[in-house]
Structure 1
């Protein structure tokens, strides 16, 4: 990237300097940057401008601790761009955020971690002391450890040991269940995880008796499982209480439900918040969206959907929330929710003929939209890929049979996609515009709709539950107050 491609780049003296701007000299490359922008986003400049030292009054400052490439990336990110970076840019961007303390730049680097750059991100971030990025990279590597093992062991021993100390993500599933009773317990009401070493499903925990997963919102946030809403029975009476499972404590707690009673809605976990999107109530589709802030335990309304919708398909790509809204006549709109602006933005429209069904997952900066194929073969599943950088759709090569691991249960971990059905659990490897079959394991063997997700499971919790498959539902349920937030046994830092 040339510095001249940056709108803040200036040539030699003779330039026009806007008021309240700072001229930054990096190795004789000059940048005119708004001082307010720097003060609001860089700890280094904020401290400098508030220090009272003579430097804070200067119109020009020389930076020797960062490179031109890294500074240009920082300015692009602060201007709202989401640049794709090569290796040199990544290294200098990490150096820049380490010295200038730029949270927005660190966040962007975390958002673009992938299998090609994770080792570079991890090693460089550890070297410069960018802990949040180093930890996020290590978690990504841990999830792909078997694929990256040879390259991982070229790292310093301490970095390898840290990766190996982390918990990997497990593929999880729970079926659709109505509430049970203590007298008539349903032993099928369980949350299960895939034991990948043995290729089979095992029970992690039982659902509390009053929990419903029928038409409920299910999501994972900060490695806790949330089940919100759901219905009691065919009357579609809504369960008003929400439930949260913390694997670190192996306990369930309760939270309040949304202000609007709703079922058949989508629950999305994102940056410390849960979003209850659309759904139904009294057999009427809803457009309202509510946000639950875990920090204060309250629900509030945010910008509604462009139109009423139930069972909204969603995915999070590069830490951005996307949903699909079916328009009819073969058209599906993809919208992005921007929390900072509280707005839904139309991203693109996919026009394809399909019989029924829709699902979406994300890998890197691609969205994969799945649907049932031609009406004469409803088991056929076809996919289209939308690249967020190029804005282009590509029809995926190959076709997938829903009888061999339903793609409507797909979950992405690293470069793998896991799907399951009653007969088989399938792992695919994501390649350029195709998913290649990697391995097959035992199916889930349960009836009803299936929710799938990823969680990091402490070994103690897994081994304990593995020895007690018939545990009753209330044995591992405690009220919220029984699980101290700062207890060493109940830490979020897995």
Structure 2
């Protein structure tokens, strides 16, 4: 059901409500508190009445969860009044809690932030964070500060800081001094890279000097060393990703026979330190590693030259791996990305069919969302920006040096081809990382920044390429001042 139609089914008059009664008051954990309440609850926001399943609200919002654990008289009432909120904001909250991803304009954003702060609805806060862009980031930041929605406040400030060159004049014109100071106290994310290196032990320490993670100093247009890789770490055919500003390196290979490396590592930029993490149960290499929320997902890959469909997820809180639903078919080195806090994998059927699957975490399943048929020679790269997935590929065999790009809109479910093409003779665009409303691409000759404008990528800057041969992993990291000054 569309968001616009939701209002007709969610909003009801005070006299039209029908509540089913129960003899208990359900708590958030399924236990009961004393006193009779209805299985359905009428929530009054202003003059508008909403009839909702009580357990749905309890499971979705900290406000209702706390209310029904408190034992207060309200948990026995069939009608709850939320004073100070507006009906439109509550309607938006209900839509998001049901799994919808509505686009929001200025007034909607303000009311949604107010509602997210009051209800302490984590999923609504996450949705708002996913919607941050150059047009609404100042509104998001200022409104989140007003209502104390701290996760959104910090995320919007980071976005502004990363786009500060473009936004500085408007920031200083429209924001109060204390908010400007907070933005300027943050360090922007930097474009970082690491080449493909095998483990370095015994007599091989001669290669240790080149085993570094580097970042691009955009002011000086030079690459600088951030940290050395642990000697036992391999980035050759490994899983490499960043989650919560920490760099993870999982698996990889060593030697001509592709011996799997068991050692897995996490680099914390805050402490400038490496630590070991546990290894996946299934040994694998040439797989995709992506992080969403508080979990890493190791997707597909190979073991003993056999392509696999297995998927494992690592909970960074419990520090444990567990298996998730298998891919629809075996895949190695599959293009994988995240967008709108959702995971997508691109499975290619040579020589022309691209299928994009989404991992539905609440159901632990992979769901086909779209298919694209394009003749190509080889290769895929996929990057997510807001609610769009950009798929890059080589052209057909008679013109394979062209990098062609198609865009899939998650909101509309429609494909579109980006105008023109991108030269790919030196590998450009087969690594792409988003920062704010920009995308960074890299090869040995150049680093390019593209401004993402609707369905177009417009070149903004060209900087120094990464002076390493072979495969390269790229990502964004927010570095403390102490690291950039060392």
1:388 matched to 2:410? The reply is yes
Q: Distance in 1 between matches of 2:331 and 2:160?
A: 37
* Deviations 1:108-137 (CA, angstroms, capped at 9, x unpaired): 212222222111111001101111111111
Aligned counterpart for 2:262 among listed residues 231, 234, 240: 240
Identify the residue that residue 176 of structure 1 maps to in structure 2: 196
**Contact kept in structure 2, 1:259 and 1:299, CA below 8 Å:** yes
1:229 matched to 2:273? The reply is no
Structure 1 residue 208, shift from structure 2 partner: 1.8
Structure 1 residue 240, shift from structure 2 partner: 0.8
Q: Distance in 2 between matches of 1:3 and 1:12?
A: 20
Q: Closer, same or farther in 2 for the Cα pair 1:6/1:175, shift >3 Å?
A: farther
* Aligned-residue CA RMSD (Å): 1.7
Which deviates the most, 363-372 or 241-250? Answer: 241-250
* Deviations 1:153-206 (CA, angstroms, capped at 9, x unpaired): 120111111111112111011111122236532222111101000122111112
Query: For 1:110, what is the secondary structure of its paired residue?
Result: helix
**Contact kept in structure 2, 1:195 and 1:202, CA below 8 Å:** yes
- Unaligned runs of 5+ residues in structure 2 are 22-38
Structure 1 residue 421, shift from structure 2 partner: 1.1
Identify the residue that residue 103 of structure 1 maps to in structure 2: 122
**Contact kept in structure 1, 2:392 and 2:406, CA below 8 Å:** yes
1:454 matched to 2:476? The reply is yes
Identify the residue that residue 423 of structure 1 maps to in structure 2: 445
Which deviates the most, 14-23 or 253-262? Answer: 14-23
Q: Distance in 2 between matches of 1:100 and 1:250?
A: 37
Q: Closer, same or farther in 2 for the Cα pair 1:200/1:71, shift >3 Å?
A: same
**Contact kept in structure 2, 1:405 and 1:424, CA below 8 Å:** no
Q: Distance in 2 between matches of 1:45 and 1:208?
A: 47
**Contact kept in structure 2, 1:335 and 1:344, CA below 8 Å:** yes
Q: Closer, same or farther in 2 for the Cα pair 1:210/1:433, shift >3 Å?
A: same
Give the paired residue count.
Answer: 464
**Contact kept in structure 2, 1:3 and 1:72, CA below 8 Å:** no
Q: Distance in 2 between matches of 1:14 and 1:443?
A: 66
Identify the residue that residue 94 of structure 1 maps to in structure 2: 113
Q: How does 1:26-45 map to 2 (within 5 A)?
A: 26-45=45-64
Q: Distance in 1 between matches of 2:198 and 2:391?
A: 30
1:165 matched to 2:150? The reply is no
Aligned counterpart for 1:132 among listed residues 147, 151, 154: 151
Aligned counterpart for 1:200 among listed residues 211, 222, 225: 222
* Deviations 1:229-257 (CA, angstroms, capped at 9, x unpaired): 11112110111111221222222222222
Identify the residue that residue 35 of structure 2 maps to in structure 1: none
- Unaligned runs of 5+ residues in structure 1 are 465-494
Q: Distance in 2 between matches of 1:143 and 1:8?
A: 39
Query: For 1:406, what is the secondary structure of its paired residue?
Result: coil
Q: Distance in 2 between matches of 1:238 and 1:4?
A: 51
Structure 1 residue 327, shift from structure 2 partner: 2.2
1:84 matched to 2:103? The reply is yes
Q: Distance in 2 between matches of 1:252 and 1:51?
A: 43
Q: Distance in 1 between matches of 2:62 and 2:264?
A: 39
Q: Distance in 2 between matches of 1:372 and 1:202?
A: 31
Q: Distance in 1 between matches of 2:251 and 2:63?
A: 46
Identify the residue that residue 358 of structure 1 maps to in structure 2: 380
1:251 matched to 2:273? The reply is yes
1:302 matched to 2:324? The reply is yes
Identify the residue that residue 488 of structure 1 maps to in structure 2: none
Q: Distance in 1 between matches of 2:249 and 2:393?
A: 26
Identify the residue that residue 13 of structure 1 maps to in structure 2: 15
Q: Closer, same or farther in 2 for the Cα pair 1:252/1:68, shift >3 Å?
A: same
1:143 matched to 2:145? The reply is no
Query: For 2:198, what is the secondary structure of its paired residue?
Result: coil
Query: For 1:185, what is the secondary structure of its paired residue?
Result: helix
TM-score, with length taken from structure 2 = 0.92
**Contact kept in structure 1, 2:241 and 2:291, CA below 8 Å:** yes
Aligned counterpart for 1:335 among listed residues 354, 357, 374: 357
Structure 1 residue 218, shift from structure 2 partner: 0.6
**Contact kept in structure 2, 1:44 and 1:101, CA below 8 Å:** yes
Identify the residue that residue 397 of structure 1 maps to in structure 2: 419
**Contact kept in structure 2, 1:6 and 1:72, CA below 8 Å:** no
| Greater relative contact order (CA < 8 Å, ≥ 6 in sequence) | 1
Structure 1 residue 424, shift from structure 2 partner: 1.0
* Deviations 1:438-457 (CA, angstroms, capped at 9, x unpaired): 11111112110111111111
TM-score, with length taken from structure 1 = 0.90
Q: How does 1:454-493 map to 2 (within 5 A)?
A: 454-464=476-486
**Contact kept in structure 1, 2:17 and 2:42, CA below 8 Å:** no
* Deviations 1:18-67 (CA, angstroms, capped at 9, x unpaired): 44212222222221111111222223333333444443333223322100
Q: Closer, same or farther in 2 for the Cα pair 1:298/1:45, shift >3 Å?
A: closer
Structure 1 residue 337, shift from structure 2 partner: 0.8
Q: Distance in 1 between matches of 2:468 and 2:357?
A: 33
Q: Distance in 1 between matches of 2:310 and 2:84?
A: 48
Structure 1 residue 2, shift from structure 2 partner: 7.1
